[in-house]
């Protein structure tokens, strides 16, 4: 019995160690192999700082939008019966199913030089491709399902009785949502936000296609990593990688700390 348990434990730990921790640990090791100066120089170069700022901008725009949309969409799916709900539910998963490169290409077809929307946009003086709007669109597209997927089961679980109780006590729809529904689903939403943030931070494929990856202009951190790697600037590539990993870890930790504080 005990031997079996130890075997299982060793297998599980070994799997995680070999496939997750080893490569990640190596990056940390390689980054600081020659001290902190080389990776720091690469990140604090003008292009590096610009990439960092642009990445944070993507997060600042895509995450709030997808959070509001995700919660609203989950509410519609769970609380309002409609014949098209299963269809919408399936559509929401599309970004999971389609390769990010294909998503980038589809945006290209829509907004590109020969794209459907190009004439109107050109007239209005809006440049989507090879600029920030296109990258925001790509980021939103790839990270769209997370908040919906995390919120739907929590909404189903809490049921409607608390909301009905609130309405008999005189609360209108907004008050009920603000004071009863949202607090009850907040950890589901928070988890969705963390996943969305991580995805937007790390998105490569779709953003790469629509941005053109112009250094100092349309280069996010993952694109910066690739460019440094291609230019044989390994400390720069590793330094930016570690920065990305730290950003993602920070969001995870922030949520766990908030949750612990609340539970206490």
Partner 1 sequence: MAIAVEEACKRFGDFQALQDVSIEVPDGSLTALLGPSGSGKSTLLRAIAGLETLDAGRVIIRGSDVSAQPAQKREVGFVFQHYAAFKHMTVFGNVAFGLRIRKWDKARISDRVHELLQLVQLDGLAERYPSQLSGGQRQRMALARALAVQPRVLLLDEPFGALDAKVRKDLRSWLRRLHDEMHVTTIFVTHDQEEAMDVAEQLVVMNEGRVEQSGSADDLYDHPANEFVMSFVGEVNRLGDHFVRPHDMTVSLDRDAGDEEAMVRRIVALGFEVRVELVLGDGTEVWAQLTRSELQKLELREGQIVYLRPDRIKSFSDEILVA
57, 132, 171, 248: which one binds partner 1 (CB under 8 A):
171
Report the residue number, 12 or 159, with the smaller CB distance to partner 1: 159
Q: Does 184 bind partner 1 (CB under 8 A)?
A: yes
**Six-digit token string for 13:** 């730990």
User: Which range of residues in 61-69, 123-131, 170-178, 229-237 is near partner 1 by CB under 8 A?
Assistant: 170-178
Contact 235, 213 (CB under 8 A): no
Q: Which of 174, 207, 201 is CA-nearest to residue 75?
A: 174
The owner of tokens 């725009």 is: 61
Contact 138, 107 (CB under 8 A): yes
Q: Does 62 bind partner 1 (CB under 8 A)?
A: no
Report the residue number, 105 or 171, with the smaller CB distance to partner 1: 171
CB of 87 to partner 1, least distance (A): 22
In whole angstroms, what is the distance from residue 197 CA to residue 247 CA? Answer: 9
Q: Does 153 bind partner 1 (CB under 8 A)?
A: no
163-194 exposure pattern, b = at least 16 Cβ within 10 A, e = fewer: beebeeeebeeeebbeebbeebbeebbbbbbb
Q: Does 161 bind partner 1 (CB under 8 A)?
A: yes
23, 119, 120, 170: which one binds partner 1 (CB under 8 A):
170
CB of 186 to partner 1, least distance (A): 8
10, 165, 214, 253: which one binds partner 1 (CB under 8 A):
165
In whole angstroms, what is the distance from residue 26 CA to residue 6 CA? Answer: 27
Q: Does 166 bind partner 1 (CB under 8 A)?
A: yes
Can you state the percent helix, strand and coil of the chain, rounding each to 5? 80, 0, 20
Report the residue number, 53 or 79, with the smaller CB distance to partner 1: 79
Report the residue number, 37 or 169, with the smaller CB distance to partner 1: 169
179, 250, 256, 257: which one binds partner 1 (CB under 8 A):
179
In whole angstroms, what is the distance from residue 219 CA to residue 46 CA? Answer: 12
**Six-digit token string for 128:** 């989507």
Contact 149, 189 (CB under 8 A): no
Q: Which of 70, 68, 95, 35 is CA-nearest to residue 235?
A: 35
Q: Does 183 bind partner 1 (CB under 8 A)?
A: yes
Q: How many CA atoms, within 13 angstroms, populate the side-chain half-sphere of residue 15? A: 6
Per rule CB under 8 A, count of chain residues that contact partner 1: 16
Report the residue number, 123 or 161, with the smaller CB distance to partner 1: 161
CB of 164 to partner 1, least distance (A): 5
Q: Does 169 bind partner 1 (CB under 8 A)?
A: yes
Binding residues for partner 1, rule: CB under 8 A, are: 161-162, 164-172, 175, 179-180, 183-184
């Amino acid at each position: 019995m005990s031997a079996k348990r130890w075997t299982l434990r060793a297998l599980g730990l070994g799997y995680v160690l070999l496939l997750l921790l080893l490569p990640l640990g190596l990056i940390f090791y390689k980054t600081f192999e020659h001290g902190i100066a080389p990776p720091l120089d690469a990140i604090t170069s003008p292009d590096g700082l610009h990439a960092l700022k642009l990445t944070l901008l993507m997060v600042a725009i895509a995450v709030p939008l997808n959070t509001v949309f995700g919660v609203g969409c989950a509410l519609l799916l769970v609380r309002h019966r409609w014949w098209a709900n299963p269809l919408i539910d399936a559509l929401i998963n599309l970004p999971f199913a389609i390769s990010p490169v294909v998503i980038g290409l589809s945006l290209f077809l829509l907004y590109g030089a020969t794209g459907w929307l190009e004439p109107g946009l050109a007239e209005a003086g809006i440049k989507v491709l090879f600029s920030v709007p296109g990258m925001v669109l790509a980021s939103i597209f790839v990270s769209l399902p997370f908040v919906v997927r995390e919120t739907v089961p929590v909404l189903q679980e809490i049921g409607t009785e608390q909301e009905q109780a609130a309405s008999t006590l005189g609360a209108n729809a907004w008050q009920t949502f603000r004071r009863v529904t949202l607090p009850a689903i907040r950890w589901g939403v928070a988890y969705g936000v963390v996943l969305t943030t991580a995805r937007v931070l790390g998105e490569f494929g779709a953003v790469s296609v629509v941005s053109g990856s112009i250094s100092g202009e349309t280069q996010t951190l993952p694109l910066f990593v690739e460019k440094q790697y291609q230019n044989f600037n390994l400390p720069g590539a590793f330094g930016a990688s570690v920065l990305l990993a730290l950003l993602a870890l920070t969001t995870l930790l922030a949520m766990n700390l908030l949750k612990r504080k609340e539970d206490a």
